[in-house]
Amino acid sequence: MTIQDQGADIPGKPTSASRTTLSHIMTAGDTNLLGTVHGGVIMKLVDDVAGAVAGRHSGGPAVTASMDEMAFLAPVRVGDLVHVRAQVNWTGRSSMEIGVRVLAERWNESTPPVQVGSAYLVFAAVDEDGKPRRVPPVLPETEKDRRRYQEAQIRRTHRLARRRAIMELREQHAAEGVED
């Protein structure tokens, strides 16, 4: 059965229903050779929280299809309490764009957290055979949610166009017999 065959429309879900924050205190085991926190540690937290949001929104398993625009704005240090906040920005038929903000504050100070990173991930909801399944449309609730939805649509358009352009170029090279 294809995803088009799965029947009636699925009711929408508001953005706030799956918005999630994951918090973690950085320790010496999280550092790179420079002594600041390894980017991969942050990326794991980002993927973890985005996966939780995708699972909550879609009501079942979801896998990371892509991660793009992971930006590191400032170094994270040992003793920072890091918060990764994520929400569904946009939904397609079976995919969801999850936006993640990374914030850090000293674990023992009451100063406001500062943004140290951001990322956009696409998750695909899958069934028990790992095949894409439909997701409920996200219902943006605030002006900020609506702006994020529109920006996510722009990113989606660019992702598809880039993928198509690369596939066409590869096919052209293959047709010309160019060695890979």
Task: List contacts with ligand COA (CB under 6 A).
Answer: 63-66, 92-95, 122, 124, 126, 130, 132, 159
Q: Considering the complex, state which of residue 144 and residue 164 has its C-beta at the smaller distance from ligand COA.
A: 164
CA–CA distance, 117 with 41 (Å, rounded to integer):
12
Q: Considering the complex, state which of residue 66 and residue 172 has its C-beta at the smaller distance from ligand COA.
A: 66
Q: Across-strand partners of 104?
A: 82, 114
Helices (runs of H) and strands (runs of E) counted in the chain = 2, 7
Q: Considering the complex, state which of residue 44 and residue 93 has its C-beta at the smaller distance from ligand COA.
A: 93
Q: How far is the CB of 32 from ligand COA (least distance, A)?
A: 22
Q: Considering the complex, state which of residue 77 and residue 156 has its C-beta at the smaller distance from ligand COA.
A: 156
Cα angle: 15, vertex 156, 102; to 5 degrees: 55
Q: How far is the CB of 94 from ligand COA (least distance, A)?
A: 4
- Which residue's Cβ has the minimum distance to ligand COA? 92
Q: Considering the complex, state which of residue 39 and residue 79 has its C-beta at the smaller distance from ligand COA.
A: 39
CA–CA distance, 57 with 18 (Å, rounded to integer):
5
| Distances, alpha carbon 79 to alpha carbons 27, 49, 72, in Å | 6, 21, 18
Please give the distance of CA 132 from its chain centroid, rounded to a whole number: 17
Q: How far is the CB of 126 from ligand COA (least distance, A)?
A: 5
Q: How far is the CB of 138 from ligand COA (least distance, A)?
A: 12
Q: How far is the CB of 163 from ligand COA (least distance, A)?
A: 7
| Distances, alpha carbon 42 to alpha carbons 10, 46, 52, 63, 117, in Å | 34, 6, 15, 18, 9
